[in-house]
Amino acid sequence: MGVYLDKGKVKVLTRNLHDWTDRFPTIVKAVAELDAVGAMIDGEAFVADEKGLSHFSSLQQALGRGGRRHDIMLAVLDLLKFNGEDLRDRPLMADL
């Protein structure tokens, strides 16, 4: 999914470009608190169990009616843009 930050406003879009911002309040809050004016993040939402393992069914339950959406976390796969700088042409491990 794509997570976009623009001047304090966060938007979460699925691969099919559906706006699911309201379904990921914990992710929205965390991204809004970044020390950045803008960012474009590629990631995957997940819910970890007590051992830290992710199960797709747990994510489905959290997204369902009455689900515990605050349990949903974001695994960041790539930072595509940050503070106006396009990072897509840089090697994935460039800053490590």
Residue 78 lies in a domain: yes
Residue 89 lies in a domain: no
How many domains are there within the chain?
Answer: 1
- The pLDDT assigned to 94 comes to 65
Residues 6+ apart with CB under 8 A from 69: 23, 24, 25, 26, 62, 63
Residues recorded for the chain: 96
Q: Which regions in the chain score pLDDT beneath 70?
A: 93-96
Residue 88 lies in a domain: no
CATH number at residue 8: 3.30.470.30
Which range marks the domain in which residue 70 is found? Answer: 2-82
Place of tokens 């990072």: 87
Instruction: Look at residue 77 and give its three-state secondary structure.
Output: strand
Residue 70 lies in a domain: yes
- The pLDDT assigned to 49 comes to 84
pTM comes to 0.83
- The pLDDT assigned to 73 comes to 92
